[in-house]
Amino acid sequence: MNSLRPLAAIILAAGQGTRMKSSLHKVLHPIAHKAMMLHLVDNLAGLAPDRTVVVVGARREQVEAALARRNISIATQSPQLGTGHAVQQAEAALAGFDGDVLILYGDAPLVTAETMARLRAALTPDVDAVVLGFRPADAGAYGRIIADGDTITKMVEFKDASPAERAVTLCNSGLMAVRSTALFPLLARVGNDNAAGEYYLPDIIGLIIADGGTARVIETDADEVAGVNSRAELAGVEAIWQRRRRAAAMADGVTLIDPDSVFFAHDTVIANDVTIEPFVVFGPGVRVASGTIIHAHSHIEGADIGENCSVGPFARLRPGTVLGAKARIGNFVETKKAVLGAGAKANHLTYLGDATVGAGANIGAGTITCTYDGFFKYKTVIGAGAFIGSNSALVAPVTIGDGAIVGAGSTITADVPGDALALVRPAQLAKPGWAAAFRSAMSAKKKD
């Protein structure tokens, strides 16, 4: 094992990304609400590399901004003359480094820390380089790995491969591990006498073999090394990520009634014994405690949901929502920066924004908190055990005391003391016989 050797990583992200048809750098397009390259970077962090270099081309400033809080160097490849040329651009950032180098791709975000560790572990003292291979259902135009067992005898790009070589199913993912002391001298020897006129990184494997060295291949599944060059491939990688996350959730004791219709964010935390019904979407920053049920067609982001709560169907929980134990949010209820105490409930057709709702309070259908005057936001406080009648408007800033009752249809603009009844509506007026007289008059008029 070589666990004590220093480790560096080079992440290639200099592709033009023209097929994405976007002003956003390709590697910054999100998977599960997180830039795809950051998935890779965070997986790499599990190996605690001593140095990391990202090689970019156009839109360097976007990548720099995304990595601003991380100890990562940026190198630029201009012009783009192939993967071998791209890796060469990291040489200055790795000056004086003596250890193992992982070469990764920013548009292949699903490679796990475990696979990276396998690559590194296979780089034993008698091995000069290790390549990560895979066997896709359709090998297509991938470069091929010709191997005797796990020993590589040749690597060839599809464009330059013979018919017999194209028939090989073991393909090159592009990921590899190489000793730093050999990497850049080998790259300096790589030529561009090929169909594309580019400097291919895999050509260093041929040089190692020609020099009498040893190159090995380890394999992984095709999903793990899936790359993104188009919006369709972005959707494909998203689907792979979601499929993995759903399987992990169910393995951890979460019930998904229809797994394929549930979508998680990269940081969604779901406890065991949570039930999630079909067509639920989680945005970033959601935690759900044990025993809760999320009913169908709900959208949740930035919310902390306590134990044994009920949410939905058709609920929208926005950032800053906190639900205490056994709280209930029902159909067509929207919350934002709303904190509901234990057992509080808003079961129908309600908007609660910038609000604190006490334990056991009941919010009637059609209630809204009016928080914004066009310039500033204000807060609504609803006390424990309060009852807000249907179709009420609470005009913030306003406080409804503990145990208070707001009559249905009220517009509340001033504080309501605890245990008080607040009514803001005209007195009801009934005129006996008026409706019958009206109908008689209108019927006579219609006959004329």
The reply to whether 297 belongs to the active site is: no
3-state secondary structure of 120: helix
Catalytic residue among 33, 266, 299, 348: 348
Residue 166 and residue 157: Cα distance in Å, rounded?
9
At 76, list the tokens: 């630029």
The per-residue DSSP string of 292-348 comes to: -EE-TT-EE-SEEE-TT-EE-SS-EE-TTEEE-TT-EEEEEEEEEEEEE-TT-EEEE
Nearest CA to 302 among 288, 284, 290?
Answer: 284
At 227, list the tokens: 């790359």
Residue 300 and residue 118: Cα distance in Å, rounded?
37
Residue 95, phi then psi, degrees to nearest 5: -55, 130
CB 25 within 8 A of CB 67: no
Residues pairing with 307 in the sheet? none
Residue carrying the six token digits 């580019």: 198
Strands 151-156 and 129-134: unpaired
The catalytic site residues sit at 348
